[in-house]
A and B are shown apart, each in its own frame.
Chain A
Amino acid sequence: MGRYVARRLLQMIPVFIGTTLLIFLMVNVLPGDPVAALWGDKPPDPAQMAIIRKDLGLDLPLWQQYLNYLGGLLQGDFGTTIAGNRPVLDQMTDAFPVSIRLGLMAFTFELVLGLFFGVLAGVKRGKVIDTGVTVFTLMVISIPVFVLGLVSQQVFGTQLGWVSPNVKDSMDMAQLVLPAIVLGSLSLAYVARLTRTSIAENARADYMRTAVAKGLPQRRIVSMHLLRNSLIPVVTYLGTDIGALMAGAVVTEGIFNVQGVGQLLFEALARREGSIIVGIVTVFVLIYLLANLLVDLLYAVLDPRIRYA
């Protein structure tokens, strides 16, 4: 087990380097000049630009810039922004807690309701409830998040006035409820569908027949045997979804004005702030890798047949 985890962690190193390099290169081919952007729509001052570039190390060859960046990263230094000369880390520590909150709220929402609907539909397969859940989830999946966001903002925010259409304080959980629901809705539908399918599959498995034949009570069969075995694909999905929720929030955050990572990245992209873009994407890839490891370890808990050596 320990060795397995160690190996997985070691595997992350090349992925980490590959990701940062890829994004670093991508950011560098973006059109536009972040230093010139300091002048907005006025003509920039070449002499000043040269000095600013030199101070930020932007005049060095690309490979050297990358090494410098990587070197800084290992010491926990994400670099400084070109506009305003502020540490990137500060900006990220402002934005990540917001996104984590939003992500966790959306996650809870999708987990609780998704599992509930999924189990309901799976157990009552073929009944009216099943059809209802199927139709509902299909519909949620087919409405793009930005349409859902725009419409719910308009309806619940502007028209009905139940919530404030724009989030004013991004750290206030109450204001994040609607964005979280919008954000989590798509995953909710996926979780429900996945759970339903998985339960339907497992309901016909041999061990289920055995359990029924043994005369175990229905409740115990469902909770101990059926659910536990059916959860494996769901857990896989949920594991990768934590990161995806935070990263996928760029649209939701934009619509509801949540000052999270998505917004920060959107602005960074517009200003060509390379170090912010690379920093954020790197963190997302790390989250994704760690979540995957966690999922694989959870497998062992859920399925006794799986053992990691």
Chain B
Amino acid sequence: MPENTLKKDKPTVEEPAVAVAEAGPAPDKPRSLAADAWADLCRKPLFLLSGLLILFLLLVSAFPGLFSSTDPTAGDLSKHFLTKPELSHVFQPDWFGYDNQGRSIYARVVYGTRVSILVGVGVTVLVTVVGGLMGMLAGYFGGIWDTLLSRITDVFFGIPFILGAMVVLNAFTERTVWTVIGALAFLGWTAIARVMRGAVITARHADYVLAAKALGAGTSRILFRHILPNAIAPVIVVATIQLGVYIVAESTLSYLGLGLGTNEVSWGGDIDTASDHIRNAPHILFFPAGMLSITVLAFIMLGDAVREALDPKLR
């Protein structure tokens, strides 16, 4: 039963895992590490819990209208701080009360999911592609490429993440979600590049790579068919964990006032607003901050589960 439900979840839960899992458990062949890992994951309550949570968050961010019919930007000052949270009003606009503009906090929390998820996923994808490629090049070709790329990595890695993002985002007078994603990816790719480089160096000298070389396989074939599948595991782990970090980074930047226009709803921006009223109306801080924590938690737990599944040493 759990097996079944989970297979349905597959496509949305974790793209890379799906890709590797597809080759999955054929009964008579020996199972690959990926298939092994997948089977292992399905037994983990940590994974099930975080997977379901993430699925739910994805759903909310894709269709916020399903969860709240209130416009999150429509304010009515006569409702200024009016209602404190009330349990009996579940899913009503006033469930969580109203903020300083008389906007429904519930609607804002629902609609705020989109920015966080978009930034988290967007940055992770960008970083994995760019950082992965860089790491692969450095690791596989070595020599001058490695030296050059490693020094560049050093430059970016040494620049403190939030400070760097502050400088980069300041350069833009027009900011959209994509600007934020770009800025975070611009500074964040090094983490993946390093992990990938290490993994590729290990894989480069493996017997199967040497064999493929001897058989006359081209560089790109060796890289993408032989080395990548064997080096991807640590990258997936780091990427999953970093996803939560990027979500926190986005909210931190929004909190620092480097966020988006006032019609964009973001948890970080709402926490910024709330921080001015923390003494009089703490509830307007509590809900966006709570959702933010839950989201980050979900991705960290997913990362933990994936790592435990992919790392045989931890079994």
**Is there a contact between chains A and B in the complex with CB atoms less than 8 Å apart?**
yes
User: Which positions in A face B, CB cutoff 8 Å?
Assistant: 11, 14-15, 18-19, 22-23, 26-27, 29-31, 138-139, 141-147, 150-151, 154, 158, 197, 200-201, 243-244, 247-248, 250-251, 254, 262, 265-266, 269, 277, 280-281, 284-286, 288-289
Q: Is the pair B173, A31 in contact by a Cβ cutoff of 8 Å?
A: yes
Q: Is the pair B167, A144 in contact by a Cβ cutoff of 8 Å?
A: no
Q: Dominant SS at the A interface? A: helix
Residue of A nearest to B301 (CB): A138
Residue of A nearest to B275 (CB): A150
Q: Closest Cβ of chain A: how far from B46's Cβ, in Å? A: 10
Bound-state Cα–Cα, A250 to B252, Å = 10
Q: Is the pair A15, B155 in contact by a Cβ cutoff of 8 Å?
A: yes
Q: Closest Cβ of chain A: how far from B134's Cβ, in Å? A: 15
Residues of B within 8 A of A244 (CB): 160
Q: Closest Cβ of chain B: how far from A184's Cβ, in Å? A: 16
Bound-state Cα–Cα, A19 to B170, Å = 18
Q: Is the pair B293, A144 in contact by a Cβ cutoff of 8 Å?
A: yes
B157 within 8 A of A: yes
Q: Is the pair B166, A250 in contact by a Cβ cutoff of 8 Å?
A: yes
Residues of B within 8 A of A200 (CB): 314
Q: Is the pair B314, A139 in contact by a Cβ cutoff of 8 Å?
A: no
A-B contacts, CB under 8 A, total: 123
Q: Is the pair A251, B158 in contact by a Cβ cutoff of 8 Å?
A: no
Residues of B within 8 A of A269 (CB): 166-167, 170
Bound-state Cα–Cα, A262 to B166, Å = 11
Whether A15 contacts B244 in the complex (CB less than 8 A), given A30-B171, A147-B292, A269-B170, comes out as no
User: Which positions in B face A, CB cutoff 8 Å?
Assistant: 151-152, 154-155, 157-164, 166-168, 170-171, 173, 244, 248, 251-252, 255-256, 271, 275, 278-279, 282, 285, 289, 292-294, 296-297, 300-301, 313-314
Contacting residue for B252 out of A247, A251, A286, CB 8 A:
A251
Q: Is the pair B293, A147 in contact by a Cβ cutoff of 8 Å?
A: yes
Residues of B within 8 A of A250 (CB): 162-163, 166, 256
Q: Dominant SS at the B interface? A: helix
Residue of A nearest to B278 (CB): A154
Residues of B within 8 A of A29 (CB): 171
Bound-state Cα–Cα, A262 to B167, Å = 13
Contacting residue for B313 out of A30, A138, A201, A266, CB 8 A:
A201
Residue of B nearest to A246 (CB): B160
Q: Closest Cβ of chain B: how far from A289's Cβ, in Å? A: 6
Residue of B nearest to A200 (CB): B314
Q: Is the pair A138, B252 in contact by a Cβ cutoff of 8 Å?
A: no
Contacting residue for B155 out of A18, A147, A277, A280, CB 8 A:
A18
Residue of B nearest to A193 (CB): B304
Bound-state Cα–Cα, A250 to B159, Å = 14
Besides the known contacts A138-B297, A248-B161, A289-B154, 8 further A-B residue pairs in the complex with CB atoms under 8 A apart: A18-B154, A27-B167, A138-B301, A144-B296, A269-B167, A281-B159, A285-B155, A288-B157
Residue of B nearest to A255 (CB): B275
Residues of B within 8 A of A151 (CB): 278, 285, 289
Residues of B within 8 A of A18 (CB): 151-152, 154-155
Bound-state Cα–Cα, A281 to B163, Å = 8
Whether A141 contacts B296 in the complex (CB less than 8 A), given A247-B163, A265-B163, comes out as yes
Q: Closest Cβ of chain A: how far from B191's Cβ, in Å? A: 11
Residues of A within 8 A of B158 (CB): 15, 19, 243, 284-286, 288-289
Residue of A nearest to B293 (CB): A142
Q: Closest Cβ of chain A: how far from B307's Cβ, in Å? A: 9
